[in-house]
């Protein structure tokens, strides 16, 4: 019972953050809830709950989704990079690449936080076409290798979609599409069974409360604060990648 209450609190905070920012629930939920439940039991529940948040934002804020950026840049380039990551995974690649990726994410987030400090107006230029392509290809490679390419999509979107509403809704559609594939895989493997679905149902109330809180917060933070929170969450995600990789070394 205590673990269920703690999980409900984690769901409220993590998915409230997701509703406000368009990302971040995996960093928070997995990092905290893995101390309560095994990861193989936890992930199908969290991914299923994420579908609810993503669907809500996509439907409620569909007018702010940038289909051009998502359909012409983010998805094609990430999908192009995924086969290379899947090939490395089949060859039994070591965690060195994941460690390097985590360090890279930490460095990117730190650089952007310094830029925000030096530029009080918070304005930044878009990434050059080739740099954006490299970032997204790397994200696809890491998603195929470790299912952790999200930070690159977030970083690219933070430079390409500087309006907080477009940023949030476009990323939510990306997560919705990717997580539908994951849920299909969970159903095929039989890991999203009755017990997992019952746990999903038990957390719908804190999830809905988190969505409401996230919507409230999103409407009240200014653009500069929003970008600050984006890069702080990216920094936290990179640190989690580094620590988790070193912990398995």
* Residue 248, pLDDT above cutoff 80: no
Q: CA 40 to CA 38: how far, in whole Å? A: 6
Contact 148, 142 (CB under 8 A): yes
Q: Which residues of 165-191 are buried (b: 16+ CB within 10 A; e: fewer)?
A: bbbbbbbbbbbbebbeebbeebeeeee
pLDDT tens column, 37-93? 887 788 889 889 999 999 999 999 999 999 999 999 999 999 898 888 777 766 655
Backbone φ and ψ for 219, nearest 5 degrees, come out as: -75, -10
pLDDT band per the 50, 70, 90 thresholds, residue 147? low
Amino acid 146: pLDDT: 64
The yes-or-no verdict on residue 94 having pLDDT over 70 is no
Structure tokens at 14: 């993590």
Residue 15 exposed, middle or buried by CB count within 10 Å (0-12, 13-18, 19+): buried
Would you place residue 249 in the very low, low, confident or very high pLDDT band (cuts 50, 70, 90)?
Answer: low
Contact status, residue 147 vs residue 106, Cβ threshold 8 Å = no
Q: Which residue has the higher pLDDT, 123 or 18?
A: 18
* Distance from the Cα of residue 32 to its chain's centroid: 15
Mean pLDDT of 209-227: 94
Whether residue 143 contacts residue 78, with contact meaning beta carbons closer than 8 Å, is answered with yes
Domain ranges of the chain: 1-63+178-218, 67-160+222-249
User: pLDDT tens for residues 3-50?
Assistant: 889 999 999 999 999 999 999 888 888 888 878 888 778 888 988 999
Give the whole-angstrom CA distance, residue 246 versus residue 146. 15
pLDDT at 204: 96
8 A C-beta contact, residue 17 and residue 214: yes
pLDDT band at 179 (very low <50, low <70, confident <90, very high): confident
Mean pLDDT computed over every residue of the chain: 87
Contact 215, 56 (CB under 8 A): no
pLDDT attached to residue 13? 94
Q: What is the DSSP string of 38-85?
A: -HHHHHHHHHHHHHHHHHHHHHHTGGG--HHHIIIIIHHHHHHHHHHH
Entry pTM: 0.88
Q: What pLDDT does residue 6 have? A: 92
Indicate if the alpha-carbon torsion angle 104, 108, 114, 117 is positive or negative.
negative
The arithmetic mean of pLDDT across residues 118-144, rounded, is 82
């Amino acid at each position: 019972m205590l673990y269920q209450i703690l999980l409900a609190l984690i769901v409220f905070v993590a998915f409230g953050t997701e509703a406000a920012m368009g990302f971040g629930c995996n960093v928070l939920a997995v990092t905290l809830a893995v101390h309560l439940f095994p990861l193989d039991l936890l992930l199908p529940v969290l991914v299923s709950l994420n579908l609810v948040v993503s669907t809500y934002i996509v439907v409620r804020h569909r007018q702010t989704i940038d289909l051009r950026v998502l359909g012409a840049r983010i998805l094609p380039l990430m999908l192009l990079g995924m086969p290379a990551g899947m090939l490395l995974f089949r060859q039994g690649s070591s965690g060195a690449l994941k460690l390097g990726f985590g360090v890279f994410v930490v460095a990117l987030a730190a650089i952007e936080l310094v830029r925000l400090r030096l530029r009080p107006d918070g304005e930044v230029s878009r990434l050059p076409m080739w740099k954006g392509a490299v970032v997204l290809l790397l994200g696809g490679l890491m998603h195929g290798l470790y299912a952790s390419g999200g930070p690159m999509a977030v970083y690219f979107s933070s430079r390409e979609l500087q309006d907080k509403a477009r940023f949030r809704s476009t990323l939510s559609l990306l997560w919705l599409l990717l997580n539908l594939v994951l849920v299909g895989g969970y159903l095929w493997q039989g890991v999203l069974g009755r017990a997992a679905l019952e746990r999903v149902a038990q957390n719908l109330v804190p999830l809905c409360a988190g969505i409401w809180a996230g919507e409230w917060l999103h409407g009240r933070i200014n653009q500069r604060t929003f970008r600050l929170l984006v890069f702080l969450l990216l920094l936290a995600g990179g640190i989690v990648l580094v620590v988790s990789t070193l912990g398995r070394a």
